[in-house]
Amino acid sequence: MIIGTIAFVLSGSFVAMSEDFGILRMFILDFVTAFGGGVIRNLLIGLLISALWS
C-alpha cells in the first residue's frame, strides 16, 4: 500500500514540475493524486473507501 501511495505522489510531482507549479500547489496536487489513487485502487479491488483509514 505504501508503494502505491509513493507512486501516485511521484506522478503528481512530475506533472507539477512539468507545469512549473509552486511548492504549495505541488503539495496539493501530490495529496489529491495520492488520495484519489488510493480510492480508485480500493474501488477496483472491492474494498470500501473507508479502508483507507484502517
Question: What does the pLDDT read at residue 54?
Answer: 65
pTM: 0.55
pLDDT digits (tens, 9 = 90+) for 13-30: 888 788 888 888 888 877
Q: CB of 34 within 8 A of CB of 8? A: yes
**C-alpha of 38 from chain center:** 7
Domains contained in the chain, number: 1
Is residue 53 pLDDT above 70, yes or no? no
- How far is Cα 42 from Cα 48, in angstroms, rounded to an integer? 6
In terms of residue numbers, what domain contains 37? Answer: 2-53
Is residue 8 pLDDT above 80, yes or no? no
pLDDT above 70 covers a percentage of the chain that reads 91
Question: What's the mean per-residue pLDDT of the chain?
Answer: 79
Q: What is the CA radius of gyration of the chain?
A: 12
Residue with cell 505522489: 9
